[in-house]
Amino acid sequence: MGQAAQIVVLIKEPGTAKTRLAAALSAAERLRLAEECAVRALTAAQEVAGTIAVCGGPGAANLARRCGAEALVEEHPAGQNRAAERGLAEVLARGGSGCLVLSSDLPLVDAGSLRRLLEHAGTVEGPVAVVAPALGREGTNALYLRPIGDFDLQFGEASLPRFAAEARRRGRALVVHREPALALDLDEPDDLATLDRWRAASGETG
């Protein structure tokens, strides 16, 4: 594995993130939430492996660098799939044999959850795609590919079945890794209520 980065964290420009939460949070609150989630994802990733942040603008890049991560800035952001492709290509160019692509809007992510996903992937021989599903919407919050390449990315609404179909088409094993800390992403106001319930149950403060 050498010095190649093995985790790619996708970070939207914080000031433009979380627009679907506008009915529940002010612009300042959305900005703070986006930054907090990105910092949490970057911190967890860097505890586990070399990390590259693919950033949708200068604010995201500055945040990544403050966390000690390398930042690749998208001059013309074109969505999650293009951002992930850029990160995967960079890891591959550096000799990486496998890579975990991670969303930055996961308020519960921690290093242990990432290690468990990578350990799960390590139990599978041959080409593999490991997906961590989002809670309730058939989305995908994390994707591990080994090898990198020869796999069309499918991030977006209801991506999980499309990833499964792509894995079949490519002859890869598909592993669905169900991990509570990777399941909650903050897209809709109801997700904030889920986060509040989890924090109340765990004793974590927001």
pLDDT digits (tens, 9 = 90+) for 27-71: 888 888 889 999 999 999 999 999 999 999 999 999 999 999 999
Which domains, from first to last, does the chain contain? 7-200 (3.90.550.10)
How far does CA 178 lie from the centroid of its chain? 14
pTM score, whole prediction: 0.88
Mean pLDDT score of the chain: 88
User: How many whole angstroms separate alpha carbon 55 and alpha carbon 59?
Assistant: 8
pLDDT value at position 2?
A: 41
For 32, residues 6+ apart whose C-beta sits below 8 A from its C-beta are none
* pLDDT, mean of residues 144-165: 94
Nearest-CA neighbor of 91 among 149, 132, 48, 43? 149
How many angstroms separate the CA atoms of 26 and 199, rounded?
A: 21
pLDDT for 186 beyond 80 = no
